Structure 1
Amino acid sequence: MKIIGIDPGLRNMGWGIIAAEGSRMRHIANGIVHSETGELGPRLAALYRGLCAIIAEHRPDAAAVEQTFVNKDAVGTLKLGQARGIALLAPAEAGLEIGEYAPNAVKKTVVGVGHAAKEQIQHMVRVMLPGVDFAGPDAADALAVAICHAHHLQGRALRVKATA
């Protein structure tokens, strides 16, 4: 199963695709969709078109999107929420099932603790996906989201198998 992980951002939207076969995972691709400064509408459109192109090229089977956290900057949080809407819309339009994960859940799944630093996350993603070369920190975060989703899908499959 191919999974695309998405780390929403208005300026830099990270994405990463992995293949999950049972408990094995391998890196397929990762990158960042950029939007320039300026009016919000064209920036969101650029993110949407970029993400749709990636989904069309790689044809993932599922998607996972990191949830946003609310901070003290209400305007920034609202803009990030709109970028997150794009991160949900593009895979939904492609007919993909979408998992949503809080940042602490991603960190706990990948590193083992919910308050891990970015360096710890990147290290563990490198351990889990040997030979990976990150397009940037946002792409590394997106790969972590994809890994989190793969683990949750595996756990769900084991529960279904156990109850059958």
Structure 2
Amino acid sequence: MGWGLVHLRPDDSLEMINYGAISTSPRLPMPQRLQQIYRQLTGLLETAFPSEIAIEELFFNKNTTTVIAVSQARGVALLAAADHNIDVFEYTPLQVKQALVGYGRAQKDQVQEMVRILLNLDQIPKPDDAADALAIAICHIRSRRFMSRLEAQNG
């Protein structure tokens, strides 16, 4: 499970604070793997103090085993956010691609390159899950900024 912390500066530029990925051993039973994810997420929330959390909405694909495992890990992330009273915002892969590349059917490498450019990084963040998490964070910041400006116009 990737994670990324991005800050919107007063000048509307983006600053990457940190990123990474939580991984567990596939040899562990699922309850212990979920527990490890929860503990690591909790530690991250208690040290980083994010004001909001953005997470990718799931879409059903043909691999039901993967969907179930991802759904369980996603549920742990939602629980950790709720335990810390942090609002959660969800975005589809299409929304993330649209927000970063301007095209909802963009390729993964295009999105990753935009993450690198928008965060002024020397290279694309690795692993891919971390780059995806940063993309979701950027999508969220852009969406929130857009909605704030829209609300201000409509008074």
CA-to-aligned-CA distance 1:75-95 (integer Å, 9 cap, x gap): 221121111111212122111
Equivalent AA in structure 2 for residue 155 of structure 1: F
Q: Does 2:23 correspond to 1:34?
A: yes
Q: Does 2:154 correspond to 1:163?
A: yes
Partner residue, 1:77 = 67
Partner residue, 1:150 = 141
Q: For residues 12-27 of structure 1, what are the structure 2 equivalents within 5 Å? A: 13-21=1-9, 23-27=12-16
Partner residue, 1:104 = 94
| Structure having greater relative contact order (Cα 8 Å, sep ≥ 6) | 1
User: Of the candidates 22, 35, 48, which is equivalent to residue 58 of structure 1?
Assistant: 48
Q: Which moved more, 1:67-76 or 1:135-144?
A: 67-76
Change (3 A) 1:88 1:132: farther
Compute the displacement of 1:149 (Å): 0.4
Give the gaps of 5 or more residues in structure 1: 1-12
Q: Does 2:126 correspond to 1:126?
A: no
Equivalent AA in structure 2 for residue 66 of structure 1: E
Equivalent pairs counted in the alignment come to 152
Q: Distance in 2 between matches of 1:75 and 1:51?
A: 23
Q: Distance in 1 between matches of 2:53 and 2:122?
A: 20
Higher share in strand: 1
RMSD: 1.3
